[in-house]
Chains A and B, each alone.
Chain A
Amino acid sequence: MSTGSHEPTDDSPESHYPGKLASIIHLFESLPEEEKRENLIAYSEQAKKHEPKEGETFDLEDVRKDEECTDTVGVFLRLDAEKRAHFRITLGPQVQTLTKAMTSILCKGLDGLPIPEILELPADFVPKIVGGHLVRIRSQTVYYILTRIKSACKVLLNRQRAAEA
């Protein structure tokens, strides 16, 4: 997997994305199509590393099978003492490769962000990572994990607000 030698600068188009995600976007944007696919495969092969670890506890667990995805996906969200979000994700065996890749990318790219920042994140970075071509031919696959992560964030935020009210 390429590691990306160039970080986005303050005036680069990626600078309005959070740091870790901006680096991933920048890396993918710099790659030709073939290497982009190779990197997506490499990320997809890392998906298992983002499953919950023994003994971990979470503030929210959302495991379900939706129509939008070919198998069950579980999103596990934990907030640290500074209210920064950390995600673990489980994927059923029938989940497609692009979904696996987006799982790794988002678990890494969104790690440590505050929930409001995740909720405000526009989805327009997804085509920058997977390429407009793959989005066009398999649009149902590429946004699903981001939608699930945002959904988990929203539920937890609402719970917190209700508890504080």
Chain B
Amino acid sequence: MSDSTSQYAHPEALVSTDWLAAHLNEPDTRIVESNEDVLLYDTGHIPGAVHIDWRQDLQDALVRDYISPEAFAELCAKNGIGRDTTVIFYGDKSNWWSCYALWAFRLFGHTKVKILDGGRDKWVKEGKPLTKEKPKYPATSYPVPAKRFDKEIRAFYEEALAQSQEKKPLIDVRSPGEFKGEVTHMPEYPQEGVLRGGHIPGAKSVPWKTAAKEDATFKSADELRKIYTEGCNLHPGEDIVAYCRIGERSSHTWFVLTYLLGYEKVRNYDGSWTEWGNKVRAPIERSN
């Protein structure tokens, strides 16, 4: 672990590309790739990694929600993930989707989770090995989680509304144009647009990218504290809700606040702007 990594609140939640390259066959560990590009895993992946798709595997196919505890247990079992397996997530887009998958695993109470710092892009850029061989692991008997931890780490519309009305911290991690209401979707994602633009009243704009370096790794603990603790006046014990468009970019910020800065009560509003901006009579603020 490098000196800069050890300054994080939970440095054990990150692994470096060099560490992972030297520990590909670690026992009781499973490497999971989660991407936006649905075929990227098939073009080549870290040896031994399995693929979990944020939409196909983690979301309910019919209702806008996550899979059932039974389906989660089945997903883990077929990927050789046991209750005590440490899952290391990585992916494209600066780890948006891998943070989202990690957050979804936490919803089901799986706490042994880590992120590969820098994600897929850094691994590829460093010329580290990739394979097209899809691993097969013996199925485990993952116990069906007794509950989903929605209350602890997930916010719904009513809770985000209460957060706004009570003037508690709301972090909007979308791009400045989306926050200001100039655009109703992120570039490249027009199908995920909404009817109204703007932000939740009282929300602060802290784009997710503020927390990432150019090589997709996370900024140092000092830099993150300057952004969130000093810049946004956020404190570790506060109730904080982060949101974006569908909950993927805010998962990145949720990871930063929870694991790298050690904030204890951070929730991800995964309904995010695609719910809020379409909801009849939801209050909206616009700013320059």
- Using CB atoms and an 8 Å cutoff, list the residues of chain A in contact with chain B: 37-38, 40-41, 44-45, 67-70, 96-98, 101, 133-134, 137-141
Q: Say which residue of B36, B42, B191 sits within 8 Å of A37 (CB atoms).
A: B42
Q: Does A68 lie within 8 Å of B188, measured CB to CB?
A: yes
Q: Say which residue of A41, A96, A138, A141 sits within 8 Å of B42 (CB atoms).
A: A41
Interface membership of B27, Cβ < 8 A: no
Q: Does A98 lie within 8 Å of B42, measured CB to CB?
A: no
Q: Say which residue of B39, B40, B56, B191 sits within 8 Å of A140 (CB atoms).
A: B191
Interface membership of B187, Cβ < 8 A: yes
Known: A137-B55, A137-B56. A70 touches B188 (CB 8 A): yes
| Residues in B neighbouring A97, C-beta threshold 8 A | 37-40, 42-43
Q: Does B189 lie within 8 Å of A140, measured CB to CB?
A: yes
Interface class of chain B by DSSP: loop
| Residues in B neighbouring A69, C-beta threshold 8 A | 188
| Residues in A neighbouring B36, C-beta threshold 8 A | 96
A44 to B191, alpha carbons, bound, how many Å? Answer: 24
Residue among B36, B43, B55, B188 with the most chain A CB within 10 A?
B188
How many residue pairs, one in A and one in B, have C-beta atoms under 8 Å apart? 48
Known: A41-B43, A44-B43. A138 touches B38 (CB 8 A): yes
| Residues in B neighbouring A133, C-beta threshold 8 A | 56
Q: Could you list 20 A-B pairs, sorted by A, with CB under 8 Å?
A: A37-B42, A38-B42, A40-B39, A40-B42, A41-B43, A67-B187, A68-B190, A96-B38, A97-B37, A97-B39, A97-B42, A98-B37, A101-B39, A133-B56, A137-B38, A137-B53, A137-B55, A137-B56, A140-B188, A140-B191
Interface class of chain A by DSSP: helix
Interface size band for B: 10 to 19
| Residues in B neighbouring A141, C-beta threshold 8 A | 38
Q: Does A140 lie within 8 Å of B190, measured CB to CB?
A: yes
Shortest distance from the beta carbon of A56 to any chain B beta carbon, whole Å: 28
| Residues in A neighbouring B187, C-beta threshold 8 A | 67
A56 to B225, alpha carbons, bound, how many Å? Answer: 55
Q: Does B39 lie within 8 Å of A98, measured CB to CB?
A: yes
Shortest distance from the beta carbon of A101 to any chain B beta carbon, whole Å: 7
| Closest residue of B by beta carbon distance from A101 | B39
A141 to B192, alpha carbons, bound, how many Å? Answer: 13
B26-51 contact mask (Cβ, 8 Å, vs A): 1 or 0: 00000000001111101100000000
Q: Does A67 lie within 8 Å of B38, measured CB to CB?
A: no
| Residues in A neighbouring B40, C-beta threshold 8 A | 96-97
Known: A44-B43, A137-B55. A96 touches B190 (CB 8 A): no
A44 to B41, alpha carbons, bound, how many Å? Answer: 13
| Closest residue of B by beta carbon distance from A38 | B42
A19 to B36, alpha carbons, bound, how many Å? Answer: 33
Shortest distance from the beta carbon of B62 to any chain A beta carbon, whole Å: 12
Q: Does A67 lie within 8 Å of B188, measured CB to CB?
A: yes
A133 to B191, alpha carbons, bound, how many Å? Answer: 17
Q: Does A41 lie within 8 Å of B191, measured CB to CB?
A: no
| Closest residue of A by beta carbon distance from B59 | A137
Q: Does A37 lie within 8 Å of B39, measured CB to CB?
A: yes
> Given A67-B190, A69-B188, A96-B40, 6 more contacts at CB 8 Å?
A37-B39, A41-B43, A97-B43, A101-B39, A133-B56, A134-B38
Shortest distance from the beta carbon of B177 to any chain A beta carbon, whole Å: 12
